[in-house]
Amino acid sequence: MTFRKLSVPGAWEVTPKQHGDPRGVFLEVFQGDPLRAAIGHRFDLQQANCSVSAAGVLRGIHFADVPPGQAKYVTCAKGAVLDVVVDIRVGSPTFGQWDSVLLDDVDRRAIYLSEGLGHAFMSLEDDSTVLYLCSTGYSPGREHGIHPLDAEVAIAWPTTARDGSPMAPQLSAKDLAAPTLAEAVAQDLLPHYDAVQTYLGTLPA
């Protein structure tokens, strides 16, 4: 398993080693010690989620209040999604920037997102199945969103599905109603970089 830092600090692409034979494929999807070595502290798994999405479904940009925030380790068991991390930490040197990883059932990569970062993905195939390991459980009162089509963030979402057919984004009513990045700043909804860094420093190694 190898780790590659993304351009947004606090996010990593994780590539597992796959073992194949005529029966199929085996791989280790998650390894606690290598992840701890990469991120500098233990990942405290508290909840595991699964979503199944049609082609074009766009989920996010989602984030949680810090502390405690919600770190995520995300992979795609079936199909393909473009997974995106957005730096929404006010005061961060890379505030407003994003990076992406293709998660699919070929390379079987994962992405790790630290507390305080925004997360979104677009499904590139019907029935794309995404698994999320989360450091905290669901808590609606402290979870928020930013509109994923915000022109200021300017994420380059795909317009073509995995099979080459044209694709348009499909958003939930909640995500459609989410504020832009500028509106979220004005409403003081976003995590602050210094507070996130302070909180991360309290996590057990």
- Write out the catalytic residue numbers: 62, 132
Q: CA-CA distance, 62 to 143, in Å (whole number)? A: 7
Q: Quote the tokens at residue 46.
A: 């508290």
Phi first, then psi, for residue 76 (nearest 5°) are -115, 110
Q: CA dihedral in degrees (31, 32, 36, 39; nearest 10)?
A: 60
Tokens encoding 166: 């044209």
Measure the CA–CA gap between 26 and 23, rounded to whole angstroms.
9
